[in-house]
Amino acid sequence: MKTEVEDMNFIEAVEAMRMGKAVRRKGWPRNCQIWLERGEYVAYGTTSLIGWELLATDFLSDDWEEVGNDE
């Protein structure tokens, strides 16, 4: 049974990323996550065999969710 995770705002999402969690916007495709790079800025996109596909999005929303550990 899957546990429902509460939505996070962008600041909470950044804090979760700093603790090693992978997060994404709920509206993003399942293969899309967001990472902190060097703890300074955010890289975002979908992972694929040919690299990154950047997504234009509004980071300051309140519909972030944790999707696992960033490995």
Domain boundaries, the chain: 27-61
pLDDT at position 9 is: 80
SS3 10: helix
Tell me what pLDDT residue 11 has. 79
- Average pLDDT along the chain, 71 residues, taken 10 residues at a time: 65 79 70 52 46 47 69 53
Whole-number pLDDT of residue 12: 84
CA dist 23 and 4 (Å) reads: 14
Burial of residue 17 (number of CB atoms within 10 Å: 0-12, 13-18, 19+): buried
Residue 54: per-residue pLDDT: 42
Length of the chain (residues):
71
Distance of alpha carbon 37 from alpha carbon 1, whole angstroms: 33
Contact 6, 23 (CB under 8 A): no
pTM over 0.85: no
